[in-house]
Structure formats: C-alpha cells, structure tokens
C-alpha cells in the first residue's frame, strides 16, 4: 500500500480535530491531543495547538483565551462537522448505547465514537425539533431491583487500562488492594468484564495460575497495560462463569432448594421463577417452592432478606 502524503495526513488530522470539538462544552488542546494519540496520530501537543489556532480563524469556533489552557468549542449557531446518514432512529440507538454500554465497551472505542455520540445528542437535544425518537428517551428507563447505590469511584486511568488490556489480549500489571486492605502488585490475564449493579468486575487469571478470579475495578490503585500478549483461553466462557454463580460468591455447585413463603411475599417468585424446573405447591396462605439453583452467598442473602416471611429452608 502506498504511503499517504504529508498533505493527506494533515487533512485527515484536521478532520479528526474538527469532529472532536464539542458544542456544549469547551475542550483543551491537551484533551484533543490525548484522544488523537489513542487513535494512532503521532503528533505533538504544539502541532495540535497550532492547528486549533488556525481553525478558529477560519471556522465557527470559539477560543476561550482568558486563562490557560485555552478551551475550544463550536459557536452556538455553528453546525459543526456532521456525519452523513445519521437518521433519528440511529441517533436514538446511539444515545441509548452511550447511556447503558459506556462501561462495557473499550474506553478507546468509546472515544473514537465521540463524534457520533455528540451528533446523536444534538439530533435529539432540546434545540432539535420534536420527534417520536426524542420523546422515546423520556419513555424508557432501566430501574434498580434493590436499593440504588452510587458507583464507587475508579482511580484515573484504571478503566482505560483494563478495557484496553482486555480488548487486545495483553497482560495487565495491577496494583490491587483487596477487601481486607491487603495491597500487592500482580500480573493478570484479563478474560472478561462484568457490571453488577453499580460495580464493575474484571474476571482474570493471575499469571502462573489457571483458575479465574473476579477483581473489583474500584479496588485497583493503578493499572498498566504491558507490551505482552497472552493466548486467550478457548475453554473460558464468561456466560458459564456467571451461570455458575461466580459473581454471587459461589463455585458452581447446584442444590435442590425447597422453602415455604407467604403468598403476598412470594407472588413475584411465581411470576419470575428461580429456575426452569421450579415447582410450586399452593396452600391456603403460602407457597411451597422447589427449584434447582446454584448455591452461593448471594442465594443466602436473598433468602435472609425475606425474614420471617420465608421459612423451612432446605438445601439438598
């Protein structure tokens, strides 16, 4: 493949800069530089600053030079850089994807999609004309099944490093502090990422071991992607790991669970069964329920949460 000319490289760089400049907030040259470096553009910060200064003279860009670092954004009336063919339906899909998948996609990929997300928000924002797609955002919501909790904060750079190592099958050097406060540096092979309520967990194997562990991302003090690849184990299956109750602090062992529960408390278990083989015997004031489930600490927490409304529990 012939090498692209410097002129073409510069033109592509300028387009990348323009499509990353937001309209609702200001962005600095340093932020743009970091995004571009992550996308493989080998340019120094001074070059990006020089292009921004030039672009602000010829495009509808505002340069806030009241204090350093300078901030750049599109003027309110400016159309910015649009992506052709982004329909209202596509804008709706992208907006929902950004809201609900942002922690389940590689950080680098999310940044590369920034221009599309920005345009989709504009297409469905308050200044856009009313549409069914815009109304839909007010009609749907993911709601909590238990007491809502705020997500624990992540140390800067941790999610970027973890998602990159997972995406590229690279070894991760982690400074990790467990729930007991013990802190150590470990080399791990990332295998999967799971969101459980407000928390994120990395499923991985410690180097030299073949068993999987779940590490909470908020307990990472630091994380670094090493320039070392590993062979992703073909026998590992994240769905099976979840089905085995590993995120509920179980080890995959199944039990035949039986219990009795008051009718007014247990109706939802009839509507949403514990398992495919669940059996229900109805009595005057209570249900007797039998089901095959994975034994885990989460199962015990669930049972204990009913208090005296659930009794005669047996595991076989």
Q: Within 13 Å, how many C-alpha atoms sit on residue 257's CB side? A: 23
159-232 fold = SH3 type barrels. (2.30.30)
Q: CA dihedral in degrees (295, 299, 301, 303; nearest 10)?
A: -110
6-74 fold = Arc Repressor Mutant, subunit A (1.10.10)
Question: Encoding tokens for residue 114?
Answer: 């920034």
The pLDDT of residue 238? 93
The pLDDT of residue 172? 96
What is the gyration radius of the CA atoms in the chain, in angstroms? 26
Q: Where in the chain is the domain with CATH 3.30.70?
A: 246-315
pTM passes above 0.85: no
- Rounded CA-CA distance 174/185 in Å is 6
The pLDDT of residue 6? 63
Name the strands in the sheet holding 183-196, side by side, starting at the edge strand that comes first in the sequence.
Answer: 213-216, 199-206, 183-196, 170-177, 220-229
Domain 246-315 has CATH 1.10.540: no
- Rounded CA-CA distance 90/86 in Å is 6
The pLDDT of residue 223? 95
Q: Which of 204, 195, 145 is nearest to 170 (CA)?
A: 204
Task: Work out the burial of residue 36: count CB atoms within 10 Å of its CB; fewer than 13 is exposed, 13-18 middle, 19 or more buried.
Answer: buried
Q: CA dihedral in degrees (210, 214, 219, 220; nearest 10)?
A: 40
The pLDDT of residue 4? 47
The pLDDT of residue 80? 59
Block mean pLDDT (10 aa), the chain, length 316: 59 82 84 84 88 85 84 76 67 86 83 77 80 88 82 93 93 94 94 92 93 94 94 93 85 91 91 93 93 91 92 92
Backbone angles phi and psi of 103, in degrees to 5: -95, 5
DSSP 8-state secondary structure symbol assigned to residue 201: E
The pLDDT of residue 3? 46
- What 296-304 contacts at long range (C-beta under 8 Å, 24+ apart), as own/partner pairs, is 296/245, 296/248, 296/249, 296/250, 297/248, 297/249, 297/250, 298/245, 298/247, 298/248, 298/249, 298/250, 299/245, 299/248, 299/250, 299/257, 303/259
């Amino acid at each position: 493949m012939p090498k692209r000319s410097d002129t073409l490289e510069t033109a592509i760089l300028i387009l990348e800069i323009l499509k990353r400049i937001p309209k609702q907030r200001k962005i600095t040259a340093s932020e743009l530089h970091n995004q571009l470096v992550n996308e493989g553009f080998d340019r120094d910060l001074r070059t990006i600053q020089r292009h921004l200064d030039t672009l602000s003279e010829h495009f509808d860009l505002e340069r806030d030079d009241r204090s350093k670092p300078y901030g750049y954004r599109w003027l309110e009336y400016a159309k910015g850089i649009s992506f052709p063919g982004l329909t209202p339906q596509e804008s709706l899909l992208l907006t929902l994807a950004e809201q609900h998948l942002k922690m389940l996609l590689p950080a680098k990929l999310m940044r590369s999609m920034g221009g599309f997300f920005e345009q989709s928000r504009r297409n469905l924002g308050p200044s856009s004309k009313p549409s069914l797609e815009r109304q839909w955002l007010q009609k749907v919501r993911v709601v909590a099944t238990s007491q809502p909790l705020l997500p624990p904060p992540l140390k800067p750079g941790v999610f970027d490093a973890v998602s990159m190592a997972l995406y590229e099958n690279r070894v991760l050097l982690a400074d990790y502090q467990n729930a007991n406060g013990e802190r150590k540096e470990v080399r791990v092979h990332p295998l999967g990422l799971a969101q459980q309520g407000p928390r994120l967990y990395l499923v991985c194997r410690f180097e030299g071991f073949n068993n999987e562990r779940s590490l909470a991302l908020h307990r990472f003090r630091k994380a670094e992607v090493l320039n070392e690849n590993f062979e992703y184990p073909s026998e590992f299956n994240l769905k099976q790991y979840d089905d085995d109750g590993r995120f509920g602090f179980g080890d995959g062992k199944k039990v035949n669970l039986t219990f009795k529960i008051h009718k007014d408390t247990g109706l939802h278990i009839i509507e949403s069964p514990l398992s495919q083989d669940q059996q229900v015997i109805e009595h005057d004031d209570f249900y007797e329920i039998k089901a095959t489930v994975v034994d885990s600490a989460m199962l015990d927490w669930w049972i204990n949460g009913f208090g005296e409304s659930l009794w005669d529990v047996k595991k076989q």
